[in-house]
Amino acid sequence: MTETAQVTLSDSAARRIREIVSAEDGKSALRVSVEGGGCSGFSYKFDLADQPADDDIVLEKDDARVLIDQISLVYMAGSEIDFVDNLMGQAFQIRNPNAVASCGCGTSFSV
């Protein structure tokens, strides 16, 4: 696992990020951010990005890049970004030790 600012990236997440980014012209990274909203208070947002912003933390593993802004990093410290492919479907999952509650779909949380 690669660790930057206490956020780690699993092998399966790195592999999937490489696949997604390579299929999109002009994009070089996956941006992960935390926004207000969702059924538990905060939600994760995933976007493709071409360049990091000035305040982004850049997480790299096996030619995969993840960008996280400083404000989102506060809520994500100690988290693992993973990609799961099972009978329920395919999705990025964030295992966040700061979350005291989360919704059933796993895309929103509270701290």
Question: Tens of pLDDT along the chain (111 residues)?
Answer: 444 458 999 999 999 999 999 999 999 999 999 988 766 678 889 999 999 999 999 999 999 999 999 999 988 999 999 999 888 788 898 988 877 766 555 555 555
The pLDDT value recorded for residue 1 is: 46
In angstroms, the CA 8 to CA 80 distance is 5
Give the dihedral of Cα atoms 3, 42, 32, 14; nearest 10 deg: 60
C-beta contacts of 18-26 below 8 A and 24+ residues apart: 18/62, 18/63, 18/64, 20/48, 21/48, 21/64, 21/65, 24/48, 26/50
**Per-residue pLDDT at 101:** 61
Q: Which CATH number fits domain 2-110: 1.20.120.160, 2.60.300.12, 2.102.10.10, 2.60.260.20?
A: 2.60.300.12
Q: Is 100 exposed, middle or buried (0-12, 13-18, 19+ CB in 10 A)?
A: exposed
